[in-house]
Amino acid sequence: MAKSYSDELRLQVVAFINEGHTVRQAAEKFGVSPSFAAKTHKKHSEQAAIPLLAEVEPAVEPEPSFTDAEITASDLAEMFGVSKRSISDFAERGIIVKTGRNRFSLQKSVHLYCDHLRGIAAGRGGDNADALTVERARLAAEQADNVAMKNAVLRREMVAISDVRNEWVTIGRRLRNEMMSVPSRCRQMLPHLTTFDVDLIDKEIRAALTGLGVKDNDSADDIAEGSVGMPDTAAETEALGLD
């Protein structure tokens, strides 16, 4: 009965002979017959590119291409970031392609959905297209007004209402202080005036200032709304004698 040798021994014999040793030396070293060593080396030389025990790779089944792929409503909703109800609505409106019960064409649905989103972004399609167009127009108008006001400020054609209010407060205080000093100046320049006369002058000046204050309060709302330079402000200026 022929003796069986392992593949590992065969490889060792071949490697030993390839190192420059003779077939007889290989037979003596590994305890095999010279004919076995010679046949093993010859077979390996003829099939140098093929291992003694070729491993059979398992067959790989081709995966379906993206073009032919199908997807369920749940997976498609997760991919688009919408609800399953939206997927049903998209299918009814032709935004995605339904191929069967709870099955959709992945490639065609993605392409159509991207076209749908581009149409909404361009303002030429979708349920919210009109609202989006109106919002864009409103935003553009607001931005144009904002730029125009900034340019007017830079050209010193427009003044902030707070600056105008502060300036008028300063003017009013100076005017009040000057008017309140009139009685004492009259006493100094007109020695013949009695205390009663000076008190009467002081009383009338205070009454006039109080009346002006009441008129200022009546027009305060108009000033707060930015009505700088309007008739109310001109009337105040005239009443204060600043023209």
pLDDT digits (tens, 9 = 90+) for 207-243: 998 888 776 665 555 544 554 444 444 444 343 444 3
Give, in order, the Cα–Cα distances in Å from 139 to each of 67, 89, 120, 147: 42, 31, 17, 12
Q: What is the CA radius of gyration of the chain?
A: 51
* Confidence bin at 23 (pLDDT 50/70/90): confident
Boundaries of every domain in the chain = 7-46, 70-121, 161-240
Q: Are 233 and 221 in contact (CB under 8 A)?
A: no
Q: Token pair for residue 146? A: 């904002």
For 211: left if phi > 0, alpha if psi spans -120 to 50, otherwise beta; the answer is: alpha
Give, in order, the Cα–Cα distances in Å from 55 to each of 14, 50, 52: 20, 10, 9
**Its pTM surpasses 0.75:** no
Give, in order, the Cα–Cα distances in Å from 211 to each of 167, 178, 204, 236: 21, 17, 11, 11
What does the pLDDT look like over 78-127, one tens digit per residue?
A: 999 999 899 999 999 999 999 988 899 998 899 899 988 888 877 655 55
